[in-house]
Structures are given as structure tokens and as C-alpha cells.
Structure 1
Amino acid sequence: MPRPKIHKTKEQRILANRLKSSKHYERYKDSINQKRRDQYQAQVKANSLTDSIERKKRQEAFRHIAVSQLFLDLHSINDLSRDPIVEIHRVQRSLDRATDYSPSSYLEKIYQKHQLWLRNDQVSSESPVTQAVSQFEDLFESSKPLTHNILQEFGYGSEYLEASRIQKRIRRIVECLEDLELARMEGTLDSLYQLHRLRFQDTATIHYIDGQ
């Protein structure tokens, strides 16, 4: 003879299952919650890694476009028949694109790339610092005649002060890059970085090159 049914309706079975699940949870809730936390953290970590990879891909793509655009801009900037005010603003935009609108963060990235370059023993190739110095020296040299022309045309006014500040910001970035290379040659790069005594780590310099 079959065992008689305890729960005769669907609702009774649902309530019974809920009660059973509740008792099981109360008995093993610590291990259940820990397992859920572990699964959640693993998922967050996996998502974070995926996002990081995608973000790096986007940044590298942007950097490639920015550098290419920089040299296109330099070609037109060097045409002195153009309006110097327009062209000095073009220099500013080139600076913004090349540094992703944050020169201080850009210099930190250059330092990290330079360290990776050193660890990989790629001394036969041009260092990231050398490449960056060349890039910004070209931009600086292009800004000099524009600043001079603005001074000649508008005098020592707001236009000249703005152009001069853009030029000096670029020069300060070059000096920070040269400071990195000098520290490497002296064998003090790591120690100075740890002590926050590299030029690009100076608070006043950060504010100046970031245009604050």
C-alpha cells in the first residue's frame, strides 16, 4: 500500500518546501553565505579583469590616434601664414590629446612604461622617455614662433600671456621627462620615485603642467 500523501494541494507542497529550505538555510547559513560571497568576489574579479583589458585596448587605440593627430597638427602649425591665435590653440589641443588631458598622469604612465622597458632589457631600442622628449620638443619648437608672433601683433596682453603659458607648460613637461632620464643615468630613478622627489611628482609642477 503506497504511503499516504501528507500535502494534498500544490500550495501545501510549496509551503512545505519553503519550510524545509528555511530550516536547511538556518542550519548551514554560515557556509552558504561564505560560498555566495566567494562566488560574488570571483565574479567581480573576473569582470574587473575583463574591463581592465578592454580599457587598456581603448587607451592604446586613443594614444595611437592622438600621436598621429599630433604630427598632423604640427605640419599645419608650422605654417606661419595662419592666424597665430588659432594656431596656439591648436598647440593646446595637441598637448591635450597627447597627454589625454592630464600631463601629470601622462608622466606617471611614461615612468611606468620606462620601468617596464628597463626590466625587459630593451636598451637596444629607443626608450619611452626618449620618444616622449622628441615628441614634446617638436611641439615646443612649433609654439615658439607662434608666441613671438602673438607678442608682435597683440603686445604684452592676455593673448600673449596665454600663449606663453602654453609654451611654458610644454617646456616643463620636457624638463620632467629629461629629469626622468637623468635619474636613470645616475642610478637614482627608483629611490627618487619612492621618495616622491622626481620633478613630475612635485605638487607645484603638477598644478602647473595640468593647467590648474
Structure 2
Amino acid sequence: MSLNGKYGLGILLTFVLLAALMLYVFPLIYVITGVKVFNAANFFYTRFALWAVLGLIFLYSLFVEKNTFLLWKDKKYSSLFYIKAVIALYLICAFGGSFLNLIVQLLTREGMSSKLVQFSSVFKNNYPLIIFICLTAGAVEEFLMRGYIQPRLEKIYSSPYIGIIGSAVLFGILHSTYGTIGQVVVPFFIGTVFALFYKKYSNIKILIICHFMYDFVSMMIMNFIDIKHLSAF
């Protein structure tokens, strides 16, 4: 198999594993733990499943592709650049995502994702779990979506645009399991912003920090604001 073929198989494997995890991880955890209850402990275990996927894809790149996991070497920047980049990315994603979500709400009249409502009851005032959830999402999703998939799509099709749009589309589709249009449109937008940044600046650490901060702020808002008021907002 050619190297591009191995890249393509790796991308497919990544997407299938993540999709399967999004759909079936809770039933799997229930079977493993023997506790068929949606609680903080079981939710905590599901995050380890995401790290396991990252580990499998890392091994795939190492032993099948026989290549480095990150095809683009991280560039070094000053501390000031890190601060400016994280703040700028966060503001773009927060305001852009809010605007898009508002448009979706006006067009579809859809309510808040029932899955998010369910999740919010589990991490309510559980700050260690909130931090672990955000850290997992920031690291695993950025390493896989931007660090692994984006450069390989660009290599296969010899087009940076395919890498940017393709990784953003996959990122949006994976969030469709939350059951609302907004949970696809907004992640697609954020995925596009992050992919553009990664292509230009080639620094995955900044994206991980920003992703963590975006999720952390969102979850803290859900933690402190009554879900009914948040849904109306």
C-alpha cells in the first residue's frame, strides 16, 4: 500500500473509531463497570476511551505509516504570541459561534441538545471532572482532527483547502451525535478557524489551550446558569 493509501486508511480509522465512541461508549462502559447508571464515574471512564483512540492512532502512524504522528513540526513562538493567539482565537470562536447559533435558532427554533442537558446534570459543581473533560477534548480532538487528519488530507489531495475543509467537516459530523443542527454548524465553524490557524502557524499547543479554554468557559456557564434559562438564552 502506498503512503497516501496508509494516510487514507488512518483517516478512515480515526473517524470510525471516534464515531463509534460517540455512539456506543456509554453502553460499553455500562457493560464493563456493571453499573448501568449515567453518573460522574461512568462519564469519567468514557474520557479515557478517547485517550485510547489517540493512543491507537499514534501507534498506527508509528508502525503502519512509519512516520511521525504530527507531519507538521510545531513552530516556536514567544509567550506574548501564545497569549495573543489564544485570546484572538477564543474571541473569534465565541462570538462567531454565538452568532451562528443564533441564526440556527431563528431558522429552526430547535431547543438545547437533550444530550447536553443530560451531561450538565452529571458535571454540576464537579470541577475536577469539568477540567478533565475539557483537557481531554482539547488535547484528543486537536491532536486527531488538526494534528493528524488535516495534514494527511492535504498530502493525499495536494491541496491545503481540502485539508482545512475536510477536517472541519469531519469535526462537525462527529458532533452531530448531540442531536441538533447548531451542534454541527458551530463545531464546523470552529474547526475551520482552528484549521486555518494550524495551516498558517503550525502550532498544535495553542489550539489545545484555546480548545480547553472554550470548552471550560462554556461548561462553567452551564454549571452556574440554570439550564432552562440557558436554553431560553
Calculate the TM-score normalised by the size of structure 2: 0.33
Which is greater in Rg?
A: 1
Q: Which has the higher contact order (CA 8 A, sep 6+)?
A: 2
Calculate the TM-score normalised by the size of structure 1: 0.35
